[in-house]
Amino acid sequence: MIDRNFVQLYETSFKENWELNALTDYSETDTFTYGEVAEQIARIHIVFKKLGVRKGDKISLIGKNNTKWCIAYMSVVTYGAVIVPILQEFNPNDMHHIVNHSDSVLLFASDQIWENLEEDKLEHIRIVFSLTDFRCLHQRDGENIREFMKTLDSQFNKLYPEGYKKEHVKFQEVPNKEIILINYTSGTTGFSKGVMLTGNNLAGNVTFGVDTKLHFRGSRCVSFLPLAHAYGCSFDFLTPMAAGSHIHLLGKIPSPKILLKAFEEVKPSLICSVPLILEKIYRKQIVPKLSKTSIRWALSIPFVEGKIYSKIRNTLVEAFGGEFSQIVIGGAPLNKEVEEFLKKIKFPFSIGYGMTECGPLISFTAHPQFIVQSAGQILKGMEVRIESEDPFNIPGEILVRGEHVMVGYYKNEEATKAVLDDEGWLHTGDMGTINEDNHIFIRGRSKSMILGASGQNIYPEEIEAKLNNLPCVMESLIIEKNGKLVALVYPDYETLDSMGVDMADLPTMMEENRTTLNKIVAPYESVSSIQLYPTEFEKTPKRSIKRFLYSQITH
């Protein structure tokens, strides 16, 4: 058991870092100090108390990364309630489902998202609060929180007549064994899994980040990964908040151009990223330079080669702000060519391995000890086992056990038993090997899940289920091709014949299906093209498609 209490980490941090800047909305330059964040939390706790929120009640949170999102999250967990963060990319139907499935009684949502939700479909929600200014957007009949909030200032001043001070910071005592967070890995009814993480699971991740000084008092970070996702939440928010760092919340779509401008201005001490960012910069800025005849010729000269690589490294380091210790890459595999080049020029990066079910970290090795092609070393407090006759050379499924492993999926015992065995081993579904120093090497994925470019979990069955409901689609298969999703479709020829459809018009019909499909899936689930498949897909005796037969189709 982790020796530091998760909630206590933040009570201590707010007191010790009272005067330091904590959260800034980069786009708007609004900044809260740790003391001001603590005061905002105290005000929300007054509202929770008035509403009779109980320890363990579920509270959902949907919106873009901003200071109010962070304050709402902290207010919930320090009160002893359970936070349910939901990716804002999910479509409204998925949001309704998650809010209901989690039994959430309150909801914090951005004004824009609330406009697209239907209050009569939110079964247990009593109150909806805005992530713009925490005003009440909706209250169920019989509730009177709007009237109470008009008096909140006077209520607050009555409790703290001489102002809110660091000695007033006192959060709920929440044992580490209790559930703190339910993180949904997917949004569609048939496949939703709410990962239940305890204070111990989260404290293990956070204390690792603090103890290894990934973040430290007074350090700076640009938070651009989705905070509703385990990776971004743990290392762009929870860890820096526990360490006393200053978090700059991007609040925009993180294109390389926007990110590099933010890095230049903020000069982060650590950068947590997904591979896509580095891969785009490599292909757009570095490859064209390396392709020049003069550079190719110069790289063939050993003494000159080193100078060129040094210059590229220095330029790249400056582009990322020039003051970071390393870039930590996670959420998806890094392109092998890019990884080898970054190592060649001695660029400070490292790669971690994890999953939502571990909150998320399983293995990590900091630069410069990081070994190329590995996913880092298994963390202290965690065990790993490779189900292989020769785990050092022959890939097998990676099993992990230890401090970070979830207690299970919320209200889904069947799914829990499918991945957590009686001895506590979590079956990751990933294939890999391990070396004598417990460095993990990912060799492939045994699950059908596809990792999106920004680290989102993409479940092809969900997209296929929606595509199969569209006109003249008998069955479909979603595969990944060059970083994009492609749908293989076996058409319903019988229906086509009965409709008198000319086969020459079939591609146009499927393009219409693709347009319709992309309107009802999340943006990161968008299908780039539909390829017609001439025969029914080969299946197992249980009538499941043999996916592995089609994963390498390129035309």
Tens digit of pLDDT at every position of the chain (555 positions): 788 999 999 999 999 999 999 999 998 878 999 999 999 999 999 999 999 999 999 999 999 999 999 999 999 999 999 999 998 888 899 899 999 999 999 999 999 999 999 999 999 999 999 999 999 999 998 899 999 999 999 999 999 999 999 999 999 999 999 999 999 985 333 456 999 999 999 999 999 999 999 999 999 999 999 999 999 999 999 999 999 999 999 988 888 889 999 999 999 999 999 887 888 788 777 877 787 878 878 878 877 888 888 999 999 999 999 999 999 998 777 777 789 899 999 999 999 999 999 999 999 999 989 998 899 999 999 999 999 999 999 888 999 999 999 999 999 999 999 999 999 999 998 888 999 999 999 876 656 668 777 777 687 877 887 898 788 888 899 998 888 999 999 998 887 888 888 888 899 999 999 999 999 998 999 999 999 999 988 864 435 577 778 876 655
Burial (CB count <10 Å: 0-12, 13-18, 19+), residue 505 = exposed
| Superfamily name with CATH number, domain 271-323+326-445 | ANL, N-terminal domain (3.40.50.12780)
Per DSSP, helices labelled H in 86-144 are 92-101, 111-115
Look-up of token digits 């999926």: 409
- How do strand 179-184 and strand 194-198 relate by DSSP bridges? antiparallel
Q: End-to-end CA distance of the chain: give it in Å, rounded.
A: 52
The distance from CA 555 to its chain's CA centroid, rounded to whole angstroms, is 32
pTM of the model: 0.82
What are the CA-CA distances from residue 349 to residues 123, 272, 330, 332, 364 (Å)? 46, 10, 11, 15, 11
For the domain with range 459-549, which CATH number is right: 3.40.50.1220, 3.40.50.720, 3.30.300.20, 3.30.300.30?
3.30.300.30
* Every domain of the chain and the residues it spans: 6-254, 271-323+326-445, 459-549
Strand arrangement, sheet containing 220-223:
30-33, 21-25, 246-249, 220-223
In 3D, which of 461, 491, 492, 493 has the Cα closest to residue 477? Answer: 461
CATH-assigned architecture of domain 6-254: 3-Layer(aba) Sandwich (3.40)
Instruction: Report the C-alpha gap between 330 and 361 in whole angstroms.
Output: 9
Does this chain's domain 6-254 share its CATH topology with 271-323+326-445?
yes
DSSP class of 166: G
